[in-house]
Amino acid sequence: MKSVLNRGLRFVEGYPDKLTNGTDVYFSADIETDGPIPGPYSILSFALVYAGAYDGDTFYVPPTYNQHFYRELKPISEDFEQEALNVNGLNRQKLITDGLAPETAMTDAARWVENVSKGGNAVFVAYPLSFDWSWMYWYFMRFSNLKSPFGYSRCFDIKTAISLKLGRTVSAAGREKLPEVLRAKSKHTHHALDDAIEQAEIFIKVMELDADHE
């Protein structure tokens, strides 16, 4: 088991022996949609990836990112923007017949998050947070029998963290301006699972980064 000390925090590769009420359990989230806002438009796919845990003293870095949840969903309306489909490459027409009902997908996702984070507090991680959170919270509250496993505010914005760590403005903390030290090994493909894993890698690198790193 590998461990490093950084800014007074201990980073350990592995998993906590036990999750407690004071432990944050992080889930990297990514979605692919057919438009800009939930309701008039639809989530077509989403992924959640376990991205570590933090108890206030030790951050537990996952050895792999193989704990994940991925689903493709039926659209909830007839409206869509072709530009969004061009980006994610999903076959919306096929999902109308083959995609999961949102009620099933969101309830299963909430149950999975609750099981993985049992004993701790699930935290939603995204980059940028505002887009993915607004969609996923709306879908959890609208469709899941269990509502949101992240409550109404347990969330972490990687973009804000990068701004603070690197001393940059938020507008200069976008993915396209990441320094090499924060770049993930995984590629950004616009497949929700691929991108959630890439994002988890960036999240870990940001957490470990020294505050004075250029």
- CATH superfamily ID and name for 3-208: Ribonuclease H-like superfamily/Ribonuclease H (3.30.420.10)
Average pLDDT for 209-213: 54
Determine which one of 68, 190, 191, 213 is catalytic.
Answer: 190
When pLDDT is averaged across residues 58-72 and rounded to a whole number, the result is 97
Question: Could you confirm whether 190 is annotated as catalytic?
Answer: yes
pLDDT category of residue 9 using cuts at 50, 70 and 90: confident
Looking at the predicted structure, is the pLDDT value of residue 213 above 60?
no
Q: Would the pLDDT of 174 be above 80?
A: yes
Predicted confidence (pLDDT) at residue 88 exceeds the cutoff of 60: yes
Least confident of 2-6, 100-104, 194-198: 2-6
Torsions phi, psi for 152 (to 5 deg): -105, 0
Mean confidence (pLDDT) of the chain: 94
| pLDDT at residue 2 is higher than 60 | no
Give residue 7's pLDDT: 56
pLDDT at 49: 98
pLDDT, average across residues 91-98: 98
Those residues whose C-beta lies under 8 Å from the C-beta of residue 83, and which sit 6 or more positions away, are none
| Spatial separation of the C-alpha atoms in residues 25 and 117, rounded to whole Å | 6
> Lowest-pLDDT range, 6-20, 130-144, 161-175?
6-20
